[in-house]
A and B are shown apart, each in its own frame.
Chain A
Amino acid sequence: MSRPAASNAAVPARFKPGDAVVVRRAYPPGHVRTPWYIRGHHGTVVHALGPFPNPEELAYNRPGLPAQPLYRVRFRQSQIWPDYVGGAGDTLDVEIYQHWLEPAGAAP
């Protein structure tokens, strides 16, 4: 992936590190980059990674513009897996594009 040359070819960033987010519970057909198991879960943005052409469009040989901001989002393992047996403080980081995220209150 390469960054777009023009900054106006990117969607403005909605989130910053520390923001509480929830992953959209959406199930479109086609090529998507948000794993099934993480949809609907609450997390916290830990890094804003910058805009990238949308891979869900690139997969169909389209330009993927405007570029979508990508975030590293941290989740609590114990909230993702009902039978999780690891430590209560264990976390999982997933890189998720902005169009899959919505603002959320504090993670439950």
Chain B
Amino acid sequence: MVAKNDKYEVYRCAGFGESTVNAALPVVAVAGHNRAMREPIRSHHDMGGLPAGAVEKTEHDYAFWEKRVDALNVLLAAKGHLRVDEMRKNIEALPPDAYERMSYYERWISAIANTLLQRGVITADELGRKMEEIARREGVRL
């Protein structure tokens, strides 16, 4: 291994199935694999078939903010500012602990914000200042 960050480990490797490290070969980034491409890493969201508890069949009313998130998503899609595929990509990109901790619509609003940042519709500075302004108005601490 020649480098490591949160998501990727970079190996010198000879190709699929090669287990010996060969420093003479070019460095390749093996994204999504943890040992010289021998063991692919499963993304956290891609959990179909993994052990899980029983499905809880519960009905609940949506909170007003959840309805607003849904409306925001519909409007932004209609105006061409985001696509559902970008939303999914950004939800899947959440770190596992955030993915587990956040509720359904919390994941949605996170994905909306990230999509708009990636597209340049808003800037992080604009969003941060607006969040500060609203927190002051509502008397809450961020």
Chain B residue with minimal CB distance to A29?
B31
| Chain B 57-91 per-residue mask, 1 if CB under 8 angstroms from chain A, else 0 | 00000000000000000000000000101101100
Interface size on A, residues (CB 8 A): 16
CB nearest to A54 among chain B residues? B85
B92 at the interface (CB under 8 A from A): yes
Beta-carbon nearest neighbor of B7 in chain A? A29
Contact check, A36 vs B46: say whether CB atoms are below 8 A apart.
Answer: yes
Chain B nearest CB from A51 CB (Å) reads: 16
> What is the predominant secondary structure among interface residues of chain A facing chain B?
loop
Indicate which residue in B7, B32, B49, B86 contacts A37 across the interface (CB closer than 8 Å): B49
A21 to B8, CA, bound (A): 31
Nearest chain A residue, comparing its CB with the CB of B29: A29
Across the interface, which residues of A come within 8 angstroms of B89, CB to CB?
A: 30-31, 59-60
Pair A29/B83 contact, Cβ less than 8 Å: no
Whether, in the assembled complex, A104 has its beta carbon less than 8 Å from a beta carbon of chain B, the answer is no
Interface residue A28 (Cβ < 8 Å from any Cβ of B): yes
Chain B residues whose C-beta falls within 8 Å of the C-beta of A36 in the assembled complex: 42-43, 46, 48-49
Q: Which one of B41, B86, B118, B119 has the highest number of Cβ atoms from chain A below 10 Å of its Cβ?
A: B86
**A35 located at the interface, meaning its Cβ lies under 8 Å from any Cβ of chain B in the complex:** yes
Contacts of A37 in B (CB 8 A): 48-49
**Does A58 interact with chain B (Cβ within 8 Å)?**
yes
Query: Are A35 and B83 within 8 A (Cβ)?
Result: no
Once bound together, how far apart are the Cα atoms of A55 and B85, in whole Å? Answer: 6
Docked CA distance A28–B118 (Å): 21
Q: How would residues 78 to 100 of chain A score, 1 for a CB under 8 Å from any chain B CB and 0 otherwise?
A: 00110000000000000000000
Q: Which one of A29, A59, A80, A81 lies within 8 Å of B85 (CB-CB)?
A: A59
Q: Write the chain A residue with the least CB distance to B37.
A: A27
Q: Known contacts A29-B31, A31-B92; is A59 also within 8 Å of B49 by CB?
A: no
Q: Report A's interface with B, CB cutoff 8 A.
A: 27-31, 35-37, 55-56, 58-61, 80-81
Can you report 7 A-B residue pairs in the complex whose CB atoms are below 8 A from each other?
Answer: A27-B41, A55-B85, A59-B85, A59-B86, A59-B89, A60-B86, A61-B118
